[in-house]
Structure 1
């Protein structure tokens, strides 16, 4: 069927119709004056003037009801196919004499405006897209288009920026703060130092375990220095395209020189600062990371001077860094951050407890004593976890128990009381944990035991909590007794049940590592002697062969097994002598699931006094 639609032109208004209406109302009455076919698509139909007053033609020929007749066309329709239209028209007039048939005119009309727009619109679309891409690429460091690969992605903190981190927000890093404060003074008043001929250090590198506050210290420098501060991660220099890393290093130092005096901070610099040639065996000779490092070395200490630009960097893997990067003239100052001691943990707790609503039962000294080996990040996590525990219990304030539960969750994992454990397995776990407790309690060099539990936490089915003492040195006797305490659980299983289980996997892993450290690293074994195969530089990590002969390797393996066997026999002897208290403690664990230090003292008695190593 042919569909009709209404068309408006400048003079007339045509009405829509259908081919059925044309055939029935127009051709049958011989009312059609002529038909114009436009571009083989549309047909304009003209009605004879004598039908101007005849319905329904009067509505289109005299739409206003006056005497004037519209010239036409009066009707308009779209033809689906020219051949079909001609065939239908011929069939409709087959009985009409040829002289009286409706004349059909074919007209070709060009739509110049539409043709022009059909060409211009795609070009305009392409133009606007190209403008958008160019604007994005012109955004400098923040642009992410293909044109900004070589641009530095460093975040710039200007003097007027409101950086909330200051030295007041940092605790436990007094020595490190003194060092970085001096760097700030270099930038603020360089004449104080240069008047005596001194040179301003070019670089400061912060080295320490994860979570000790390296990045936090850099943020405080940005807040206190009042000079432009560029911050970037080492991984942001390296891309999949060759030469991008070196280009970004050049762009970063170019921006820094324009804003001197300023500070550049590169976090996790080991991403680009690893020793050259370390991975050449696997990565090939042309390594993008090496070219980035070479450019960094040139920028820090090349022919051009970087007056007023100080580079700060942070890493927890200093042994991997290239020696050329660490030498004086590039990173002149090395600031080592260590895990906080008791006093420093107290100060860190005070900082993180400020925004919390705590109960009077919370003692900062007690919390610091319960968290040996915790870094600043660990302490922040403990405070936040305690707040979450208190909120989960709908408390108004955070009390001491919330902190203890938070520490247990962080150290051993969350409780899994819903885990299905058979009665026989519970009994094995109880004797396993009791074995750890009895052996460690009878050995004076093992850390004090706080509590034991048979409640599954994380991947462990049971756990024993120790309170490590903060000591820098450990003797051979301490190593051996710690190994015996770790094997106490498996020894208890063998003595009570006559067989062992897979529950000692973690214990065996720790014991094996400690035994290898004693023999291969610390020189505690008489057969191997006072030699150490430990590599503090990390250069041996990718070696295909070990740094000792095959005979020495066999000797090390034999001595390790000997140490482990001796520790296991020591644990068994202690448990045989204390079989009564072992059974009593295991039964108490089956009853209560958790046994604290007070109950341990009641059952096991007082611990033997611990010897203190003489001062060097």
Structure 2
């Protein structure tokens, strides 16, 4: 019964202030329509009929309203009994203290009307009463006078309600809630479908993030030994590697409130708003602890504070950062509140933000290796109708340097290409075309190119292919094409070896292969062109890195001018003298020129094979590794290693260690 009563109460309409506005508008319209006259239905007549009534002696009184041009006619009691006037009695829906007229009509010109009444009433024994009056609508005038104020007040109330989080507004979006946090809350009531199963690769990062979730689920397991739960974890890595995806998986796995927002959500044009939002965010997190706060792109507010801070927006950002530093590790306690942040620019973050006690852990989310790319492909291929012979190991090898976001794009692009070609399933060729589309751009087969230009492009690309085939450390060739793509007139695809450290001879071989295009133009045509722009840009960067960053130049020595912290500003001054700058420039030039001459020498020795390869390229427009094997033979430096799962790899290493140990023991015995 109690519940039924409660339901009946809930069903009752709630008071709405807009009802007041509706009533006021209705009253105004009513007074305007009815003019405050108190009658709803008065019979109208014409002047000619009125003068007929007047001659017959039926009119008792005439009220002439001068300002409206209307005459009100009141009949005598005897006249009201006549058949022709039986419907003249006015119908009133409001009580009235004054009698209502039987007829009304518009009389036109007042002077003519008065003269005609005078001429008609001269012969009458009983003359009617003629009364002049001016009629005003007091209520209507009052409403008209106060209507502008009512509209202003209504608009003001509407704006205030919107700004104070009323109709259609959320917290933080209005002027009175501008200091409120914009964080989205994900908890048990919010369904987040992403889990750690959807995060392929990133084994180390995933393990650390899973541990953070475990801290909040079972804190006693760690605190019983005297340990403290980490206060923060910073996800660092290139764009597209899965930092936000990891955080989304945490929101899906953790059974605790998860606050998600971006670093730019703290930034506002009003002074003090950023710091206020930080306070409100941590206040909410403490109230719902244990909880997790995720700040994406934290470099928006976490940039290193300058020594000579200027006033303005820079001051506001620093105030926000100061408040964040205080909240994360200040006098106040943040029990069971863990902050996870993500950035791809960790080098510009403030040192105070990076220290232990705030972000205790830095989790590096690197580009996936070949094994991790295979796992990522398997995740993104789940919703795609792929052919049975499609090999994810092959796809992983074809996409070196691709991030998780790039792989997702490849899978989607392959599905679109297969659908465009009318295929029922996505096959190997669709994926190869998708990789080409993403790396090189869209094919432009209709681009106008002269035969001489096409020949130059063919020899240029054949030069790259020849040098890379001849050198041990150059990346092995996959495909060469002279079909224009994007801005390039031709392109060569390679599969670079995935190295953790790079030696000088490897860098020099890559530079030589890059200069092979211009070298081929010089050897065949004895002319060079602007087609080697991207190659020159690449080798110049590599040579500069060898000299100024990695210390791989004998003349410059073991010294680097690279600052990994990003704290020093070399925009106006250089960290070396003018003499050293000249030496650096000469050394960079010498390295590039040496590799160029080396490429020319190799191509001159293999000029006939270079020409044969270019002719095949001109004929087919696209050639593959098989075409090079027919001309040059098997590449002597091929190192093909199968991809193995992590468990199998570690087991192999253990077997290798045991075998090495056995060999050592045996040699010792001998």
Q: TM-score, normalised by structure 1?
A: 0.87
Give CA deviations for 1:306-365 in whole Å, capped at 9, x if unaligned.
011111111111111111111111111111111111221121112122222211110111
Name which of 43, 48, 57 aligns with 2:70: 43
Tell me the distance in 2 between the aligned counterparts of 1:503 and 1:88.
101
Q: Distance in 2 between matches of 1:358 and 1:558?
A: 54
**Where do residues 408-423 of structure 1 align in structure 2 (5 Å cutoff)?**
408-423=436-451
3-state DSSP class of the match of 2:358? Answer: coil
1:465 & 1:490 partners in 2: Cα distance?
17
Alignment of structure 1 residues 372-451 onto 2, 5 Å: 372-451=400-479
Deviates more, 1:192-201 or 1:461-470: 192-201
> Does structure 1 retain, via aligned residues, the 8 Å contact 2:461–2:491?
yes
Say which is worse superposed, 516-525 or 40-49, in terms of deviation.
Answer: 40-49
How many residue pairs get aligned? The number is 592
Unpaired runs of at least 5, structure 2:
1-32, 92-98, 641-670
* Change beyond 3 A, Cα 1:85–1:529: farther
| Residue equivalent to 2:289 | 260
Q: Is it true that 1:248 corresponds to 2:277 in the alignment?
A: yes
CA distance 1:167–1:48, change in 2 (3 Å) = closer
Aligned residue in 1 for 2:139: 112
Deviation at 1:110, TM superposition (A): 3.5
Identify unmatched segments of 5+ residues in structure 1.
65-69
Alignment CA distance shift 1:434-1:6 (3 Å): same
CA distance in 2, matches of 1:499, 1:88: 110
CA distance in 2, matches of 1:247, 1:353: 44
Q: Deviations over 1:273-305 (max 9, x none)?
A: 111107x56776952111111000000110011
Structure 1 match to 2:175: 146
Which structure 2 residues correspond to residues 122-141 of structure 1 after superposition, within 5 A? 122=151, 125-126=154-155, 128-129=157-158, 132-133=161-162, 136=165
Describe the shift of the 1:11–1:263 C-alpha distance in structure 2 as closer, same or farther (beyond 3 A): closer
For 1:475-498, what per-residue CA distance to the aligned partner results, in whole angstroms no more than 9, with x for missing partners? 222222222221222222233334
Cα separation, 2, equivalents of 1:516 and 1:37 = 104
Distance across 1 between alignment mates of 2:374 and 2:537: 33
Q: Give 2:193's aligned residue.
A: 164
Q: Which one of 365, 373, 390 corresponds to residue 345 of structure 1? A: 373
Determine the structure 2 residue equivalent to 1:201: 230
* 8 Å Cα contact 2:201-2:368 kept in structure 1: yes
Taking a change above 3 Å as real, the CA distance of residues 214 and 39 of structure 1, as seen in their structure-2 partners, is farther
Alignment of 1:276-355 (within 5 A): 276-277=305-306, 280=308, 287-355=315-383
> Structure 1 residues 156 and 138, CA, compared in 2 at 3 Å: closer, same or farther?
farther
Match of 1:369 in 2: 397
Measure, in 2, the Cα distance between the counterparts of 1:432 and 1:59: 111
Match of 2:208 in 1: 179
Alpha-carbon distance between aligned partners in 1 of 2:222 and 2:276, rounded to the nearest angstrom: 33
Q: Which residue of 2 aligns with 1:512?
A: 540
> Is the partner of 1:147 in helix, strand or coil?
coil
> Do 2:36 and 2:139's aligned partners in 1 also have CA atoms closer than 8 Å?
no
Residue 109 of structure 1 aligns to a residue whose secondary structure is coil
Q: Match for residue 498 of structure 2? A: 470
* Contact 2:68/2:135, CA 8 A, preserved across alignment: no
**Using the alignment, how far apart are the partners of 2:71 and 2:352 within structure 1?**
88
Please tell me whether residue 452 in structure 1 is matched to residue 480 in structure 2.
yes
Aligned partner of 1:67 in structure 2 is none
Quote the Cα distance in structure 1 between the aligned partners of 2:333 and 2:235: 23
- Contact 2:297/2:341 (CA < 8 Å) preserved in 1? yes
Distance 1:286 1:224, change over 3 A: closer
Task: Please say if 1:534 is aligned against 2:562.
Answer: yes
Closer/same/farther in 2, CA of residues 422 and 34 from structure 1, 3 Å limit: farther
TM-score by length of 2: 0.80
Of 575, 589, 597, which aligns to 2:617? 589
SS at match of 2:233: strand
